[in-house]
Amino acid sequence: MNYDFSEFGRQLGCGSGIESLMDDLGEALAKGGADIKMLGGGQPAQIPEINARWRRRLAELMEEPGGLERGFTTYDGPRGNHRFLDAVAGLFRRTFGWKIGPENVAVTCGGQTAFYFLFNLLAGRMPDGTQRKILLPLVPEYIGYANQGAGGDIFRAVPPVIEKTGPHEFKYRVDFDNLKITPEIAALCASRPTNPTGNVLTDGEVERLAKLAREHGIPLILDNAYGAPFPGIFFSDASPYWDEHVILTHSLSKIGLPGTRTGIVIGPEQIIAALSSMSAIIGLANPSPGQQIMLPLIESGEILRLSKEVVRPFYQEKCRLARAAATEAFGEAFEWYMHRSEGALFLWFWFPGLPIPVRELYERLKQRGVLVVSGDYFFFGDDRPDWPHRHECIRVSYSTDEATVRDGLRIIGEEVKRAFAGD
């Protein structure tokens, strides 16, 4: 029997780029096992010192009076555990001097859920019948945003300025000359560092975006899933930014707790109150384990030390090794560029003039046991005529072990060389 789906059901229940990515990862693991080179997902690395800290914290939690009950057997309020909200607000108040309190903080079931709530709260069909959209000031942008509009497409995007910064290096920059905020725009949104490219918006770019948003009476949403101050996976000078019209999202995933599904939103009281209401309706309450595991680390500031002294150096070294391996694997056999790596867990490669569709390259690599992500998924919200650049890029994760990354990059180089040779 076939059932008719609503518009909402067709938008969210009939496939997406992020679902295809996750399905491919799961299927590859099930069928290929240890032979699969997993260079496609955003799974954080297993950092021994970080995992040891979680084990100690779980032991502490079990010894604390009521610790088990707080973490696993009771509901928190829909906005989050009150002590956790106080701790988050206190951390940012002490560290950066921000004038925020617990009323400016909400917990969601992971960062992905936070964005589903925020996008559909601000954009889509409005009470007066108009349609409002989220403006992405820089694409490519996170694949997980693309299908989140409950009522259909809610994105507009501004293609970047491409600046070649070295023999095999380039960087995307915001094209402020073509960044137009029209009445249909409900908010600006950018990830920092950017998933997929590792691009970090400069402090000046962020301040300029915030100024534009304020002038037009709309919020600026900054996704800090990889960013400052935690988990701190950024390798360039970048300062956390907040203002009364800025919405920040953080997560416990990339510091090493992805399974707890704990997202953190900092924003205006009106937005935070709305997120609390949405959490209550959609999920009743949000997961408690991550909040209880992380609570004393946030209260003491230990989360900042771990981010700065353990997490960031760990990924910075993995990034250095992966970039060196790419340079060795690709050589001068074909034209290629790598986005300047300023953070996150990925290398973003551009192969100008790639003679086959990038999804065909993806399939060839999958046949050889290498999983990457086809770059065209990350260019959405751009309604210009077809742009070759979007079909010439791939995203590669370097969070797995060095040997796997090195071998995977070697195979990528071989397949790209084959494509340029016409094989």
The domains found in the chain, sorted by start residue, are: 7-50+306-421 (3.90.1150.10), 70-301 (3.40.640.10)
Which single residue is written with the structure tokens 């996976």? 233
- Least confident stretch, 148-162, 211-225, 240-254: 148-162
Tally of residues, the chain: 423
Whether pLDDT at 313 is above 90? yes
Stated as kind and residue range, the H or E segment containing 396 is strand 393-397
E-only strand ranges, 200-292 = 220-223, 246-251, 263-266
The CA angle 206-372-197, to the nearest 5 degrees, is 15
Instruction: Encode pLDDT of 100-142 as tens digits.
Output: 999 999 999 999 999 999 999 999 999 999 999 999 999 999 9
- Least confident stretch, 22-31, 76-85, 118-127, 414-423: 22-31
Instruction: Encode pLDDT of 367-409 as tens digits.
Output: 999 999 999 999 999 866 578 999 999 999 999 999 999 999 9
Q: What is the 3-state secondary structure (H, E, C) of 51-65?
A: HHHHHHHHHHHHHCC
Whether pLDDT at 219 is above 70? yes
Whether pLDDT at 346 is above 70? yes
Whether pLDDT at 23 is above 80? no
- Least confident stretch, 5-9, 109-113, 225-229, 253-257: 5-9
Instruction: Encode pLDDT of 222-252 as tens digits.
Output: 999 999 999 999 998 889 999 999 999 999 9
- Residue 7 has what pLDDT? 73
Which single residue is written with the structure tokens 């059901």? 9
Whether pLDDT at 32 is above 60? no
Cis omega before residue 231 (within 30°)?
Answer: yes
pTM as predicted: 0.94
Higher pLDDT, 421 or 35: 421
User: What end-to-end distance do the CA atoms of the chain give, in Å?
Assistant: 45
